[in-house]
Amino acid sequence: MLWYNGLMRLDKLLGQAGFGSRGQVKKLIRRLQVRVDGDLVRDDSLNVDPNLQTVTVSGQRLSYSPDVYYILNKPSGVVSAVSDVEHQTVIDLIDPKDRREGLYPVGRLDRDTEGLVLITNNGPLGYRLLHPKHHVDKTYYVEVNDELGDDAPFFFENGIAFLDGTVCKPAKLDIVSSSSEKSCAYITISEGKFHQVKKMFLAYGVKVTYLERVRFGPFSLGDLALGTYRSLTEEEQKNYCLIFETNVEYLDEG
């Protein structure tokens, strides 16, 4: 399951809750072991909402914990990791009541970078989101220590090459303001190379003094306060689903 949204087929739900293959689940239903809100179930294609209905198998109540998706505004100093001996992690910022087994940040921001980190316990999703084939766009607000000239958008669009020979995919640069002391811009990239944004600006000849991720695929930071988080809205979960369901076959080919 890529995301959870209300109704789902009973056989799928039981499969995900660990009751075996579709065939094994069918057998359980045929043997009249499954009840929904107390009523015996004979139809494995029945749609149920595990948040609103009580499902029992052989008298045992099904405990089903849907995947969670949070957007966190990471402050500088916090690391994008599950645990760290030295620094506070993004998971430390999640209230214990909202924590789930397997919660992890999808991708990494540098310790001094602020902004949007997606946190979930949906394991395969992170792999899909970060897979280069999906080209998930990320937008950063950047401040640098020098001028960004009229040539800069073209420079970034042209595919910057690092000294080690790595060539970046074209990036979109929107300059907000420029002066010899401080310039501000938004940059959108579709990859996630190590220190990519900082290295791209270095290749242009300026140093990043502040970096904040404001967008990750269809998700925006909005006015989420630094150090706080929220669950994805249903609308965002739908966007999520569209992106990944339409790309899964493509991904599996490669």
Q: Is 110 a catalytic residue?
A: yes
CB of 79 to ligand URA, least distance (A): 11
CB of 196 to ligand URA, least distance (A): 4
Angle at 205 between CA 201 and CA 210, to 5 degrees: 45
Please, is 228 exposed, middle or buried when counting C-beta atoms within 10 Å of its C-beta (0-12, 13-18, 19+)? exposed
**By C-beta, is 50 or 105 nearer to ligand URA?**
105
The SS3 assignment for 167 reads strand
Q: Is 211 in the site for ligand URA (CB under 6 A)?
A: yes
**By C-beta, is 13 or 197 nearer to ligand URA?**
197
DSSP element (H, E) containing 129:
helix 123-130
Q: Is 197 in the site for ligand URA (CB under 6 A)?
A: yes
Q: Is 169 in the site for ligand URA (CB under 6 A)?
A: no
Q: Which residue has the tokens 């359980």?
A: 28
Output phi, psi for 253, to 5 deg.
-65, -35
Site string for ligand URA, 99-118 (x = CB under 6 A): ----------xx--x-----
CB of 193 to ligand URA, least distance (A): 8
Site for ligand URA in 43-62 (CB under 6 A): none
Among candidate residues 84, 92, 110, 137, the one labeled active-site is: 110
How many other C-beta atoms lie within 10 A of the C-beta of residue 78?
Answer: 24
Q: Which residue has the tokens 């809750």?
A: 17
**By C-beta, is 66 or 107 nearer to ligand URA?**
107
Q: Among candidates 109, 179, 114, 169, which has minimal Cα distance to 141?
A: 114
Which one-letter DSSP state was computed for residue 22? H
**By C-beta, is 10 or 109 nearer to ligand URA?**
109
**By C-beta, is 77 or 102 nearer to ligand URA?**
77
Helices (H) and strands (E) in the chain, counts: 7, 15
Q: How many residues bind ligand URA, per CB under 6 A?
A: 8
Q: How many CA atoms lie within 13 A of 87 on its CB side?
A: 14
Decide if 134 contacts 243 (C-beta within 8 A): yes
CB of 179 to ligand URA, least distance (A): 22
- Of 129-137, 147-155, 192-200, 222-230, the segment contacting ligand URA by CB under 6 A is 192-200
**By C-beta, is 36 or 171 nearer to ligand URA?**
171
The SS3 assignment for 248 reads helix
Q: Is 129 in the site for ligand URA (CB under 6 A)?
A: no
Site for ligand URA in 61-100 (CB under 6 A): none
CB of 211 to ligand URA, least distance (A): 6
CA distances from 219 to 105, 116, 209, 230, 247 (A): 14, 8, 24, 12, 18
Supply the residues annotated as catalytic: 110
User: Which chain residues interact with ligand URA by CB under 6 A?
Assistant: 109-110, 113, 195-198, 211
